[in-house]
């Protein structure tokens, strides 16, 4: 009997890599939840793509604050979504938690995320909302540095499935 909230897959990097992929995602859950702890030598956003879609089907809004103040950003017609930020530290992880609602349904996909880290003198917390304008069920997820930066050794991503009654 399947659990309501269970891990689907975990990837832990044993060497630097420019992406992490979850594929063959079963369509048996209601929502997906992604927990990512990133280490990075170069600060960059964590981007997300579904089903290999590189078309301009993504849009997002970001709100956040760091040690200098608050900020808000938005973009439409993007080739990928944004779910988190990776700080400039190979030893202090940034933690990102992402919800992907009704991922197997035939509607557009809403993706909400929180991300943050503090490296004792600087740091930031951000909240993201994304829209993937596709009615296809999500069967693969690609995480990558938005500008192409690598994830460092020790970066870990776990995908969970949540099943409603």
Binding mask 110-149 for other proteins (x = CB under 8 A): xxx-x------------xxxxx-x-x--------------
Q: Are 149 and 42 in contact (CB under 8 A)?
A: yes
Q: Is 2 exposed, middle or buried (0-12, 13-18, 19+ CB in 10 A)?
A: exposed
Applying CB under 8 A, among 37, 59, 88, 139 the residue interacting with other proteins is: 59
DSSP tag of 138? P
Query: Counting contacts by CB under 8 A, is residue 154 touching other proteins?
Result: no
Assess contact for 158 and 32: CB atoms under 8 A.
Answer: no
- Determine if 3 is a binding residue for other proteins (CB under 8 A): yes
Our CB check for other proteins shows the closer of 2 and 18 to be: 2
Token pair in block for residue 9: 């897959």
Q: Does 35 bind other proteins (CB under 8 A)?
A: no
- DSSP lists the bridge partners of residue 158 as 10, 35
**Residues lying near other proteins in the complex (CB under 8 A):** 1, 3-6, 30-31, 59-65, 70-72, 74, 76, 99, 101-102, 107-108, 110-112, 114, 127-131, 133, 135, 162-165
């Amino acid at each position: 009997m399947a659990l309501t909230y269970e891990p689907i897959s975990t990837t832990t990097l044993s060497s630097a890599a420019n992406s992490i992929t979850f594929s063959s995602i079963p369509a048996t859950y209601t929502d997906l939840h992604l927990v990512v702890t990133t280490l990075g030598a170069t600060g960059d956003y964590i981007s997300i793509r579904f089903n290999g879609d590189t078309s301009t089907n993504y849009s997002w809004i970001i709100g956040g604050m760091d040690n200098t103040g608050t900020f808000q950003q938005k973009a439409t017609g993007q080739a990928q979504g944004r779910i988190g930020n990776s700080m400039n530290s190979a030893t202090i992880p940034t933690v990102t938690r992402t919800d992907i609602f009704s991922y197997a349904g035939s509607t557009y996909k809403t993706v909400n995320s929180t991300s943050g880290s503090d490296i004792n003198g600087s740091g930031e917390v951000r909240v993201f909302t994304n829209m993937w304008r596709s009615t296809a069920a999500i069967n693969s997820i690609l995480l990558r540095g938005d500008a192409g930066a690598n994830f460092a050794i020790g970066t870990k991503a776990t995908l969970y499935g949540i099943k409603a009654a």
